[in-house]
Amino acid sequence: MSGRLPRTVIILGWVSFLNDFASEMVTPLIPILVAGTLAAGPLALGVIEGTADAVAAFLRLWAGRHSDRFTGRRKALTLAGYALSNAVRPLFSVVFHWLALLVLRSVDRVGKGLRSAQRDAMLADAVEVHRRGAAFGVQRAFDNCGAVLGALVAALALWQFTADIATVIAFSALPGLLAVALVGLAVREPPRRTPPEALPALSWDALGRTQRRILLIVAAFTFARLSDTFIVLRGHQLGLGVVELLLMWASISLMKAGSSYYGGRWSDAVPRRLVLLVSWTAWAAGLWLLCVADTGPLLWSVAIYIGLVAGLGEGAERALVRDHARGGEVGTAFGWYYFLTGLAAIPAGIAVGGLWHWQSAAMAFSFAGAVAALCALLLLVLVKNPSTLGDR
């Protein structure tokens, strides 16, 4: 990969690897904290995850627009975002109530909000149009490989060295510090493809019609994009131990790592809509399979399948957003992307968590699967030519 893709793509990939190494030492433990130490349930988990993403939504839009409107320099906010997340995440180890966890998780996602659109715009700036899918696929592969290692290290630590979840969370600061250092010392921004110029006022109507349709459909898919924490919570309810749940989390991320790279490359060769249609339809089927996964072995099988199909569309989805960004507004396009998906996260988390709390896990999974199938249908019907490349 390093021989074919620019240095910036590879370095940002390693940054994502280290950051997710740190993050995934913590994130799969959140549902266990919520259900165990904090004595809450699926509704609280849905509120925490949904609110945290929504808090970051507005910052993602502002951050992406900021990098386009002013200097076009994206590294500073990217560095600030990684630094904030990795400073606050170890504090999860000292929470005493799920509302405190909600606040800290939200601050963590503020960091994500500052960096996500900037990083993706830097990736898009660094590659030619015919390699966008591969570049985003590589970034997602590094990200998911870091998630694998983080979950495995957490599992090993709990198994061999300590039974204290808080200690494992605190040690996540080490790889996080390395990620921040790598951004500051090694990331070099590619030169701007177009000279800085005054941008019009931020407006939804300024986006192209196809771009608006894509963004709205992707935002709707947020209601189906069930967080892996819900799979961990389901395993916890079925009696799986903490170490086994961490291994399951690592397995999901490993499947995503492989499929995201090849899915991204595939989307450079065929219409990106086709890759998303396959991924989203298969995702819907996986959610419905979760409805009947009432034993540990069944849950393991479905979780691995879900990781495989989820990763398939990750790179293609981001490349599709870039394909339809107007010249000079790449950061803004990704800002809108993260803004809308984050904004949908609160009602999505409450809907899934509420259905689980008042009905059943099967009802929550079934609802998410229906939304995924509907979004795939909307993409097929309403987005006629999303594979046309070039600024628009």
pLDDT at 391: 35
Q: Return the structure tokens found at 258.
A: 């492989």
Q: Is 215 within 8 Å of 336 (Cβ atoms)?
A: yes
For 303, the enclosing helix (H) or strand (E) is helix 296-312
The span from the CA of 355 to the CA of 287, in Å, is 14
What is the pLDDT at residue 284? 92
C-beta of residue 279 within 8 angstroms of C-beta of residue 263: yes
pLDDT for position 386: 44
Q: How far apart are CA 388 and CA 351, in angstroms?
A: 35
pLDDT at 390: 39
Using DSSP, state whether 5 is helix, strand or coil: coil
Q: What's the pLDDT score for residue 348?
A: 82
Model pLDDT, residue 271: 83
Tell me the domains of the chain and their CATH numbers: 7-188+207-382 (1.20.1250.20)
Give the three-state DSSP class for 36. helix
**Cβ contact 145:321 at 8 Å:** no
pLDDT score at 374: 93
pLDDT tens string, the chain, 392 residues long: the values are: 444 777 888 888 899 899 888 888 887 777 777 766 666 666 777 677 677 777 777 777 777 777 666 545 677 778 888 898 888 888 887 777 778 878 888 888 788 877 877 787 777 777 777 777 778 878 888 887 888 888 888 888 877 776 677 788 888 888 889 989 998 888 877 665 554 555 566 667 777 788 888 889 988 998 888 777 788 888 888 888 878 888 888 888 888 887 887 887 888 888 888 888 899 999 999 989 988 888 888 989 998 998 888 888 887 888 888 887 766 667 777 788 888 887 787 788 778 878 887 888 888 889 989 999 999 999 888 876 544 443 33
CA atoms within 13 A on the CB side of 250: 17
Contact 227, 288 (CB under 8 A): no
384 phi/psi in degrees, rounded to 5 = -80, -35
**Position of tokens 């046309």?**
388
